[in-house]
Amino acid sequence: MPTDTAAILDRFRRAGALLEGHFRLTSGRHSPGYLQCALVLQHPREAEALGAAIADRVRGLDVQTVLSPALGGIVIGQEVGRALGVRALFAERQDGRLTLRRGFSLEAGERVLVVEDVVTTGGSTRETIDVAREARAVVVGAAAIIDRSGGQQKIDVPFHVLAEVSLPTYDAEACPLCRAGLPVVKPGSRT
Ligand SMILES: [Zn+2]
């Protein structure tokens, strides 16, 4: 499948996972774009193709295990693991802290790739990297479908993304789209 940025974003648009217009986000802020990876990943063939595209980019890293943060990273982590033929684990929050549960474990020196759906600030990818390092695994890279951090993710391992997206958000009172008189919609509604 074509995996350049335009083709990836096209897949998102077709699934309604990337909308362009004027939106009121759950935070109350306004934005010219709305991104929801789950809407593309709900289609198993799309998820499989995106996982294979990430796997192609990290083939040379000799990955032994994929580790993802729950919940957002689980589906794409599974698909990257499938494409690489390695196991796929996830870390989840307990008392506010990401941790390995369910009997999941990593060995000292195990070569781990951290996989997420979308990197917004990079915080949860960095936290997942820490989970692997605490287990004395070696984090050989990180990957995501979409990077919307604007280059601010501060991930200290080789980082691979399928597409970078810039989606500014605005205070409702200072929104240039409101000022231009464009009607604002809640994502998912049909107005
Ligand atoms: Zn607005």
Cα 188 to ligand 1 centroid, rounded to whole Å? 16
Predicted local distance difference test score (pLDDT) of residue 26? 83
Using one digit for the tens of pLDDT, what is the confidence trace for 71-110? 999 999 999 999 999 999 999 999 999 999 999 999 999 9
Cα 150 to ligand 1 centroid, rounded to whole Å? 21
Contact (CB, 8 A) for 86 and 65: yes
Predicted local distance difference test score (pLDDT) of residue 1? 67
Low-confidence stretches of the chain (pLDDT < 70) are 1, 188-191
Cα 191 to ligand 1 centroid, rounded to whole Å? 15
Q: Give the environment of ion ligand 1: residues with CB less than 5 A.
A: 30, 175, 177-178, 184
Predicted local distance difference test score (pLDDT) of residue 191? 45
Predicted local distance difference test score (pLDDT) of residue 36? 93
Cα 17 to ligand 1 centroid, rounded to whole Å? 20
Predicted local distance difference test score (pLDDT) of residue 189? 61
- Distances 120 to 36, 76, 116, 166 between C-alpha atoms, Å: 12, 16, 10, 10
